[in-house]
Structure 1
């Protein structure tokens, strides 16, 4: 019994330490939605998707957002009618009084702000249904031949293929843009329509981590150097 009594306090201390570490992680994703422009006013904090903001009593009432991560705002329920895409680290933005925000969600990893991740969307401008992940996928399941826009985050490029099992045409997309606030980094790139990549709309069928083709898209800066391997190196 004596040893058990000694072990229990140590276990409680270890759990408390882990809890404190979880709370203190500096790169947690969040969005604080204010219903007026007062920076000290009340707000509702979102850590996850909301397909219908009336559930939180925030439908058509958001006027100011403070956020970390990539957040998408829509003027219709269930991620339709794109209105704004913010990629930021602990910054605030006032919205136009004409904006009527009825749903919102984030792009990127649910685990860490700058973790390697991709999001595929059924509609242009990141609308509609979604397929997402952080590993190679030989098919994009419910969005097979339905992808119209995409977003990536983290420090690895991704290669998008028009065939199953990494076949067909391919284009490599790098996280061209870097947001830095106090040393907290967010690497990202968002493509509003995949025709910008030189691919046909609704043609993406598989995805692999790394740059596996010489056909490289980086937005404002073409990639200089050799393509990477499947580990993203």
Structure 2
């Protein structure tokens, strides 16, 4: 079982085969020990009042990584964030997080476990709007120049740039801070970075990172290749829009 607050730990990443189905769900309960009333979520929920479950969660049974926010719309206003990740796990929230949740969402792919994905969040600690991808992107849409935190899933690192179209200073980020293993051998790997401005750069430049571009990984090395890719933006729980963009070979 894994339940985490704001601490980031660095451990080795493991390679695992993606698993189809049940990649992200959470049963939320009104009492500890999975007691009381419950509500199932399999998608983003920007306002739990719409589910008659606002400020009602004390425990969860879930698979995947889920973020639980004190305020609606994923803390567009400042508030607490509590997150849990694991595979078919039961977690009682700490008492100071009882009945605090007003919005929630999952991390990574909704269809496959341990797919290589990245999500950049507008605010620190995974708050506000977000930009999600499974391949490279020359900009981060509406949150370009506003990214403050990152979560990776899967087994491959990604290179992030502080300029659009893969320009400027860069850093390589790995999905190796946390790992979960299920009873049937399923594996989830995460790179959980609540504040990228505090993350040291791998190119030894010490300036603050303003995340703008995201560059695809290649076989575990942070470098680029040429081709066409897809990107998807998720903002405040919307299903997102899908498009294509070209990327340059800058490595």
State the TM bucket, normalised to the shorter chain.
0.7 to 0.9
Show the counterpart of 1:29. Answer: 24
How far did 1:35 drift? 0.5
TM-score between both structures, scaled by the size of structure 1: 0.77
Aligned residues of 2:197 and 2:210 also touching (Cα < 8 A): no
Show the counterpart of 2:156. Answer: 156
Unaligned runs of 5+ in 2: 1-18, 202-206, 226-251
Deviations 1:25-67 (A, max 9, x none): 5643101100012435442110001111011111001010111
How far, CA to CA, are the matches of 2:164 and 2:191 in structure 1? 24
Report 1:70-149 matches (<5 A). Answer: 70-80=65-75, 81-99=79-97, 100-149=100-149
Tell me which moved more, 130-139 or 33-42: 33-42
How far, CA to CA, are the matches of 1:171 and 1:228 in structure 2? 9
Show the counterpart of 1:195. Answer: 197
Aligned residues of 2:197 and 2:209 also touching (Cα < 8 A): no
Cα root mean square deviation, aligned:
2.2
Deviations 1:150-202 (A, max 9, x none): 10001111111111111111111111032111211101111010112236556
Unaligned runs of 5+ in 1: 1-23, 213-225
Q: Does 1:227 align with 2:221?
A: yes
Show the counterpart of 2:54. Answer: 59
How far, CA to CA, are the matches of 1:165 and 1:142 in structure 2? 15
Structure (1 or 2) with the greater strand fraction:
2
SS at match of 1:55: helix
Runs of 4+ in 1 over 6 A off after TM superposition: none
Deviations 1:81-125 (A, max 9, x none): 232111211111111343211110111112212111111111110
Aligned residues of 1:173 and 1:211 also touching (Cα < 8 A): no
Change (3 A) 1:128 1:202: farther
Count of aligned residue pairs for this structure pair: 195
RCO comparison, higher one (Cα < 8 Å, 6+):
2
How far, CA to CA, are the matches of 1:35 and 1:189 in structure 2? 30
